[in-house]
Structure 1
Amino acid sequence: MQQAAQSASPAEEALLRQIAERSKSDPLIGAKLGGKDVTQRLLAGMKTAQGVHIESLLCALGALAGYACQASVRAQAVARGLPETALLTSVQTKDGQTYFFGDDLNKPLAESRYSVWGIAGGGAQEAGCKSLPDLAAIFRHTSEVVGTDAFGKPRVPDNHVPRDQPINYVRTLWPVLKPVVVKYCPNPEHWPVLLGLSIQEVILMAKTVIDPCLAMQLVMEAAVPMSKVNLAMVR
């Protein structure tokens, strides 16, 4: 997957003008259009001769959405003239790594009206999921295993394991996709929304391939721990 171009083409400039105009009546139009763009980029970038491994795509999107929550909080702090991590609570584990927690991080991930959990969960329910995963249990497990080898490893059936770990998807894909996300959503509060909408689209698209409840489990098993990783681990 190639890095997004630094300068916009005439077509892109026209699109951005259209987004700016339409955002007056629909503040989330950039996130909606950007979510579809990210979906198509990942579908193209992850396609092999056998097609797209749906579990890997869902894991990648969940990981990106989780990390986007932290990136959003950092960007908002800087915009207010605060230190980048001022709105985050840092915890250092025995292995010397730093992880981030806090209410400001949980809001875009799972608590606000347009949280990753809310948007993706709405897609899972529309796709037929009758009982969403136990989100509190995922948060609890993440806190219990932070700083261990079990951290950031999705707990899913063996036949639905993604082909790479969430941290590797963040490490490789976030630097490539962040310029795309920012292009559609100059407001960092909308970064997690964009990725949540992409997740929603993929869950609906793949409902005949993977159970939407399981898809949601996989997404959040990646999103929750990746919202907490140290920026240095990703760079």
Structure 2
Amino acid sequence: MPGDGARAVVSGRVATQAVDRAITAEQVAFAAKDEGNTAAGWAALAANEYSFLGKAALETLPGGVLIHDGKLDAARLEAARSTLGNVTARLARAYGVMPADAWAVVASVSSAVRSTYHGDVTAGRMMSLRFNDAPPKDPTAAIRQVRWFVSHEVTHWWDTGVLRTDMDRPWIHEGHADWMAGLLMLDAGQTDTATWRADMDTALNNCQFARRDRPAATLPSGFNRDDDPYACGHVTWLLAQSQRPR
């Protein structure tokens, strides 16, 4: 229940009153038996779904809302805001469908984020964008990183939402999101061909280092230390693209 002046955001919808979530006995029983071993088990209790409760600033955008804590600098916030709108519209045109219902994105800054940024998309069209609190050393590079980062996360609204994927094979959807982020930025003139090719070379090298000669079918399901699902998935989509009739 939101307090005075606060909001709750659940499944992309904003509320100022109490929000009730009903879970059936069958879902509880399945989740208890599964013990969180699979994505389906977490989903049964909506345990894999973000929700937001607080008083942070909220902006209404076409299709959803952007919530931010006021700590993210104006340049990176604007890069995130514009990328959300542009990429959502472009993917809707590309796939011919929008995510069902509203979406919500929560952008925050924290010293707990060890890398430059970290993001997640969950069921209910909720997205978390978390940034490290250190000021960017290279503002231009930081803007490019934000655009790529948000493009990657927005793609998940399609490849793990509108369209279905094998959640136990993360290289499929993570690689697709990396691949689409690069193409979207290249198409928008936000990166150049040389940089795009360099990113592909990096993905190829990282995948070769991680997997060596092991076929994807022999790898254990889920994320594991002996694999790089982002790089190898990126390479997989490059190979798939190369097989398309010209």
Query: TM-score, normalization: structure 1?
Result: 0.30
Q: Which has the higher contact order (CA 8 A, sep 6+)?
A: 1
Larger radius of gyration: 2
Structure with the largest fraction of helix: 1
Structure with the largest fraction of strand: 2
Query: TM-score, normalization: structure 2?
Result: 0.29
